[in-house]
Every structure is written in C-alpha cells, then in structure tokens.
Chain A
Amino acid sequence: MGLGTRRNLIVLAIIVAVLAIIPFALGFNQYYILLAATSLIFAVFVIAWNIIGGYAGQLDLAPMAYIGVGGIVTAELLKYYGITPWVGMFIGAGASMALAAAVGYPTFRFGIKEVWYALLTASLVVILNNITHLPQVLGSFDHYLPAKTGWYYLIFYRYQNIYYVILGLFVATVLINLLISNSKTGYYLRAIREDELAAEALGIDVRKYKLKALLTYAGILGFTGYLYIVLQGTYSYQTFNSPTSLSIAIMGIVGGLGSIAGAFTSAMFLKTVEEYLRGTIGATIPGLYLLIYGILLIIVGIFKPEGIAALFNWVKKKVGFENRGM
C-alpha cells in the first residue's frame, strides 16, 4: 500500500521542480505560459484518463463531456450565484461524477465493453454538444466569465498564477494515480483489463471496480474543467468538442496504457506540437494535428503497442532499475 517506491516520489519532485521553473525560463512571456498551462492541463486530463483507460482498460472517449459539465457548472455558479470556484469546482466534480454514474451504471450492468463502450462514450460528447446547443440551454453563442480578477475568481491578468494552480492539480492527480496503482484497486483494475472473466472468477466485482475507476476519472476532470474554461476564455456548446475528447484518449494510448510517465510525456509533447502547428501553419492547413495523431496511432499500433512507456522501460532496463508503479 501507499505510493510505491521512494524513487517514484523523487522523480515526481524533480518533474515538479522543472515545471515550476518553466514560467521563469519563458521570461514570463504570457503567450508561452498560456501554451505551457494548456499542455499541463492536458497532462492532468491524460493522467486522469489513465485510470479508466490505462488501468481499467476501458476505451473511454468522453473526457470532454466530464470536463465540460464540471467546468460549465462551476462557471455558471460563479456567474449567476457568485459562488467562488474554490467551492464550485467541487460541485462541478460532483456533477461530472453524477453524469458518470448515470452513464456507467447501466453500461457496466449490461456488460457493454470494448468497441461498444468506445462508441457509447464518444456519442456522449456529441449528445451533450447537441443538448447544450439548444437555445434553452447555452444557445449558439459564446459565454464569458465575469470580467473580474483575483484568487476568488481564479481569473488573473497574467497566466502564471493559473499555471501554478494547474501544477498543484497535476501533483494531486499523479498522487491519486500512484495511490490507486499500488493499492488493491489498482491490481483489480489491471486484472479486469487483462481478462474480465478470469478477474470475476477470482472474486473481483468487475462492475463495482469499473464504476469506481470511472467516477474517480470523471471527478478529476470535472474538478479541472473550470480551469480549462479559464484558459479558453469562454465556454459554449463547442466546449463539448469531439476531436479534443478523442485527442486525450489518443495521448493516453500513445503514452502507453497504465503508465503515468508515458501519459505525462505524451500529453506535454503532443499538445505542445499541436499548439505550435496551430500557431504556425494552422491558418493554411487547419486540423493538421489530427492527421499527425492518426499517423502516430498507426505507428504505435504497428511498432510499439506499449507506447512511450516501452521506451522508458527499455532505458530503465539499461540503467538497471526495476519497474514498479510509474
């Protein structure tokens, strides 16, 4: 039980230290810090996705549903009731978890898995997109956060504050992953991923553990959703964006299922490349990053189904470390 080896925590401390220096290294250039914050928040998403997609092996394509619901609930609470996001984010997380329970309970009850689970969760994003598009809900236009700044609103003139808030969430998400990975739940989820029937015959309540993984994942995404909206500046029905949702799962797969380090590296790298392409040739060839993701997926599928994590393991073997936890 616990967080696994001491080495995991040392590695985490080093990564956090490096991430904490980034705003300084970027000379507080606001555009670059916004990019760094966007990459980091996607790292949080992908590491949270690792719980359902990596450990439990359920190909969940609905991250934007949980991010959107949590974020929009928090934002609306702030806008119309003046409730600080510090409280609202918990309510947003609760809303996402309620949605996850409503989707997950019947899904797991009737044994929907593999490609059917993927399709069902992918359609969840589309359904929410359509529902919130109705004039009675969010309508066709963009919604803005209150034009106020400060810690009460978690909205700032400069991006470094929000960057550090996201860094804090990043640490929390990694610790939650480590706790799960080294606990009974982690072993049970991996057993379910490997072989559901065998897992069940060993006394594992497959439905219960899948639901547990889904709720944890949805809760983290719902909690982080508001910060995503702050980075975006606005929210609308388009927050429920299918390509973005898909890209989180792709980053998780490219990183390597069940690997925190792989998820982190893949999210930071791919999101940065995506933003870079958007900034340079995005105007002439929009959506080029999707093509790149597609090609990457094919490459990973053919050569390294274990993803970036396989590279880390190879290095670890060379250096002579044992492989556990991260």
Chain B
Amino acid sequence: MAEPILQVRNLVKRFGGVVAVNNISFEVREGEIMGLIGPNGAGKTTTFNCITGIYTPDEGRIYFMGEDITGLPPHKIALKGIARTWQKTRPFKKMTVLEAVAVGALLRTSNVDKAMRKAEEILKFIGFPEEKINALGKDITLMDHKMVDLARAIATEPKLLLLDEVAAGLRPHEMDRLADVLRKINSEKRITMIVVEHVMRFVMGLSERIVVMHEGQKIAEGRPEEIANNPKVIEAYLGTKPV
C-alpha cells in the first residue's frame, strides 16, 4: 500500500451562510489517478481551491507529503509540488504557446533558454501540434488551450496534479486523446492526479478510485464499478425516485 501523498482532514469552507465544503476527509495515494465527482455545486472546485491555497479553509487541515500546507499562499503550494488546471481555461493570450509553458518551467530554473527547451519537450511529450507552438494564446482552439494549461502545469514539475473538469466542452474523440495523454503523464512522469469531472465515461475510464461529493459532503468512495452501482450516488445524481 502506497503512502498517502495528500491527506485532507475534516475540511470546512463556508461562504456567508452557505457551507460549500462540509467536513470532507480523503486521502490520495502516491502514483494513483483519483476521481472526484459530484453534481453541480457539490463543492469539488472549492475543495480544489482550498488545496491549492486560493481559499483558506475555515476548518480542517491539509497535509502534502506529511507536511501541513493549510493556508499557505498559492505560489508556495506550487513550489512544494502541487499544480492545477482550471475549469475555465486561463490562457496567457498575448504570449505564444511556448512562452506560456516556459513560464511554468521557470519555477525550477532561472534560465529562460533552458525553460524554453523544457517547454518544447513537454509540448512534444503531450503531443501538442508542433506547428502551433509559436501561435499566440488568442489564436488557438479550446482543445489546444486545455493542452497548454496542462503543459504549463506539468512544466512546474509537480508531484500532484489537480485537473478541474479538463474534459468539459471537448468532443468525444478529443476526450479519448486527452485520457491517453493523462495516463501517459501519470505513468511516465510519475505524477499523481486528482481528476474533477462531470463526464462520467471519461472519469470512470481513467480513475482507479473515486470519491463522490454531494452538497459539500463525501457520500461515497470506492472503485469505479462500485461507485456506478452505489444507490446513494445514483440518488444524488438522479434525485429520489418518485413514490
């Protein structure tokens, strides 16, 4: 049994009277791809934002590789080795694809040329079309943006990668391509992943283990096939059966 790389303990985040995350606890094991699913408003993105330091949790602790990282600012958390992508892509529109990825690589080096070479390598690794690496951020497609977001995050050399609805808005064949890339990153770069996702086919096929959230709480945890047949999960997604 692998060591947990991330431990979330009794996490609570409130916005005014709304409890977005209500006493969530889970662990992520080193090397795995873990799915984090739940209906809209379940608190998945808020959980992500607490882990990456964008929000300070109201209660609970977060441990990364045995170290308490609760409340650290985002840039320090990135430095420790947690990277993320965004539900709505956040491109650097006036920079080229290569430059945007190099910004990520500059976290581990101060040499711009080195960062550029590393960015090129990573873009190649994830199969980004070579003819587009000098295109400006404002001139590329959504799929390209997702790939650049991903490359940028990997370039910071994370140990843990949080993917926030990375498949949203993609066509089925693009999703398959993305899933292959993610598996490759996981196995070859040895990066542990948490995948927040709405697209069931995508997350079920990708994850080894899934945590289900509903209204800020964890309602289930298990292997994909267990989750698919869990009555609580079905109820959360489809609502209670009319009597």
Q: Which of B102-110, B123-131, B187-195, B221-229 contacts A (4 or more CB under 8 A)?
A: B102-110
Q: Which of A5-13, A40-48, A201-209, A215-223 contacts B (4 or more CB under 8 A)?
A: A201-209
Known pairs A184-B110, A184-B112; A205 contacts B90 (CB<8 A) = no
Q: Which of A65-73, A135-143, A154-162, A191-199 contacts B (4 or more CB under 8 A)?
A: A191-199
B94 interface residue (CB < 8 Å to A): yes
Bin the interface of chain A by size.
20 to 34
B78 interface residue (CB < 8 Å to A): yes
Provide the bound-state CA to CA distance between A258 and B95, in Å: 11
B132 interface residue (CB < 8 Å to A): no
B44 interface residue (CB < 8 Å to A): no
- Interface centre among A183, A184, A193, A205, by most B CB within 10 Å? A184
Known pairs A187-B103, A187-B112, A191-B92; A205 contacts B75 (CB<8 A) = yes
A190 touches B94 (CB 8 A): yes
Note all chain A residues with C-beta closer than 8 A to B73. Answer: 200
A188 interface residue (CB < 8 Å to B): yes
Instruction: Type the 1/0 row for B33-69, where 1 means its CB is closer than 8 Å to any CB of A.
Output: 0000000000000000000101000000000000000
B52 touches A198 (CB 8 A): no
Which residues in chain A, 165-197, are within 8 Å of chain B measured between CB atoms?
182-184, 187-188, 190-191, 193-195, 197
Which residues in chain B, 76-100, are within 8 Å of chain A measured between CB atoms?
78-79, 83-84, 86, 90-95, 99-100
| 24 contacting pairs across A/B (C-beta < 8 A) | A1-B111, A183-B110, A184-B112, A187-B99, A187-B102, A187-B106, A190-B99, A191-B95, A194-B91, A195-B90, A195-B91, A197-B54, A198-B86, A198-B92, A200-B73, A201-B54, A201-B74, A202-B78, A202-B83, A202-B152, A203-B75, A203-B107, A205-B75, A206-B75
Q: Which residues of A contact B (CB under 8 A)?
A: 1, 182-184, 187-188, 190-191, 193-195, 197-206, 258
